[in-house]
Structure 1
Amino acid sequence: MPSTLVHVALGGLVGCALLGAAFSPRAIAVVLVAVAAVDLDTFLGWVVLGAHRSAFHTVLLPLVLGAVVAWDAWGREESFLRARVGETAPRVAGVSVVAVAFAGIGPDLVTNGVNVLWPVHDQFYEVTGKTYLSDRKGFVQTFVDLGNEEPVQDANLGSSRERQYYTGADRDPGQSGEPVVEERVFPLANSGTQLLLVATGALVVASRVVEDVRERRA
């Protein structure tokens, strides 16, 4: 599964791309913290069965947060965020919500799955498949069943009672019937692609921060 570092790297790219004039070291830090916070449901899983990849990985989270931010920015006479934090606060909050959806939840949705509509609907789903162009079959995709020749994989992974996710942060995975592990592993990058993403994200964020600091000093 993607590590928190991978999530943060992708979140950094989202933030740098969307913050625009609102970019600052503080603003990009808010975006990165918001993305990293999605993985905190790992610790909630210590006390709530199935909370990992459910509580903060549900797509209802960014939908609700996005609605609140939009209402605050455009539905009120005076924005709470703008008045209390600053003129760019609604933009930073909105970009943080987008980063949570695409960088915090998205990578897990396509890798081992998440509890997409928890707690309204307790089922883990994974977006899995492939798409390509063939000189014989034409355009082929196996994400959604549209009557293609190739079979579509079942995206339903079961409920929180049937499926549990464990990381090095879990206190004792063996208590849930899984083999007791002697080594706790905290992954940073599980593939060359993930390593490239981490390096690219770090480079882009660092470059934007340095550029912003120089502009403010000029």
Structure 2
Amino acid sequence: MPSTVVHCALAGLLAASLLGDVFDARAVAVVLGVTILPDLDAFAGFFIDGGHRSVLHTLLLPLGAAALLYADTRLRDRSFVRGRWRARGVRIAWVSVAAVAFAAIGLDLVAGGVNLLYPIHDQFYALSGELLFSNNRGLVQTFVELGGGESGAARGSTEQVHINSGVDPTRGAEPENVERVFPVAQSGWQLLLILTSVFVLGVRLWDDR
């Protein structure tokens, strides 16, 4: 599964491309900090079975944040965010919401799965499949099953699914000698993503110095 470093790498690329004129080290730090927050639900497993990738990995969080931000900045006569941090704060807030949705939750959705609508709907989902064009089969996609019935993306509820982490390796009590793994990069593409993000952010920060 993607490490926190990998999540931050993708969030860093989003920050570099979307922050525009408000890009600087402080803005990037805010986006990366918000991106890290969903991984804190690894500690929820101590109190809620299956809490990891459920409590803070629900899409209800970025959707709710986006709704509140839209209402504050577009519908209210006086925006709290704009009044406190001006247009810069609004831009950083929107990029942070995007980072949580795509870099934090989205990456985990394609790597092991997340409880997308917790607690309204207690079901883990994992997005896996392929999209291709074949001269024999035409357009082929296996991400979404179109034939009805139980979704192949469903993985089970919090009672059935435990996603391990260095904080909570197994469901229930662990033996004293349990191995706790805190990954950085677990594949070549993850390492490449990290290096690319470091390079892009470095270049942008150098240009803006």
Q: Which residue pairs with 1:8 in the alignment?
A: 8
C-alpha displacement of 1:44:
2.0
What is the number of residues matched between the two proteins?
Answer: 207
Contact map agreement 1:10 1:197 (CA 8 A) in 2: yes
Aligned to 2:156: 158
1:59-138 aligned at under 5 Å gives the runs: 59-138=59-138
1:191 paired residue number: 187
Secondary structure, counterpart of 1:166 in structure 2: coil
Counterpart position of 1:168: 166
Give the whole-Å Cα distance in 2 for the aligned partners of 1:161 and 1:142. Answer: 27
Question: What's the TM-score, normalizing by structure 1?
Answer: 0.89
Tell me how far apart the structure 2 counterparts of residues 142 and 179 of structure 1 sit (CA, whole Å). Answer: 40
Query: Kindly tell me: are residues 154 and 181 of structure 1, through their superposed partners in 2, closer, same or farther at Cα, counting changes over 3 Å?
Result: farther
**Counterpart position of 1:52:** 52
The Cα of 1:43 is off from its aligned counterpart by 1.3
Give me the whole-angstrom Cα distance separating, in 2, the residues matched to 1:108 and 1:181: 27
Distance of 1:146 and 1:46 partners within structure 2: 38
Code of the aligned partner of 1:154: G
Q: Secondary structure at the match of 1:175?
A: coil
Where do 4+ consecutive residues of structure 1 move more than 4 Å?
178-181
Q: Label 1:188 to 1:98 Cα distance change in 2 as closer, same or farther (>3 A).
A: same
SS of structure 2 residue aligned to 1:205: helix
Runs of at least 5 residues in structure 2 that lack an aligned partner in the other structure: none
SS of alignment partner, residue 123 of structure 1: strand
Contact 1:128 1:153 in 2 (8 A): no
Q: Note the C-alpha offset of 1:212.
A: 1.6
TM-fit CA distance, 1:184: 1.4
Name the CA distance, whole Å, in 1 between partners of 2:26 and 2:111: 30
TM normalised by structure 2 equals 0.92
The C-alpha deviation readout for 1:152-207, integer Å capped at 9, x for no partner, is 9821110001101121112x73635x787632111101100000001111111122
RMSD: 1.9
Partner of 2:17: 17
With 76-85 and 114-123 compared, the bigger mean Cα shift is at 76-85
Which residue identity does 1:63 align to in structure 2? L
User: Using the alignment, how far apart are the partners of 1:187 and 1:108 within structure 2?
Assistant: 14
* Partner Cα separation in structure 1 for residue 144 and residue 86 of structure 2: 44
Return the offset for 1:74: 1.0
Listed as ranges, the gaps of 5+ residues in structure 1 are 214-218
| Helix, strand or coil at the partner of 1:88 | helix
Hey, what's the Cα distance between the residues in 1 that align with 2:31 and 2:68? Answer: 17
In the TM superposition, what whole-angstrom CA distance separates every residue of 1:6-50 from its partner, at most 9, and x where no partner exists? 000000001111111121211111111111111011112222222
Check conservation: 2:162, 2:171, Cα contact below 8 A.
Answer: no
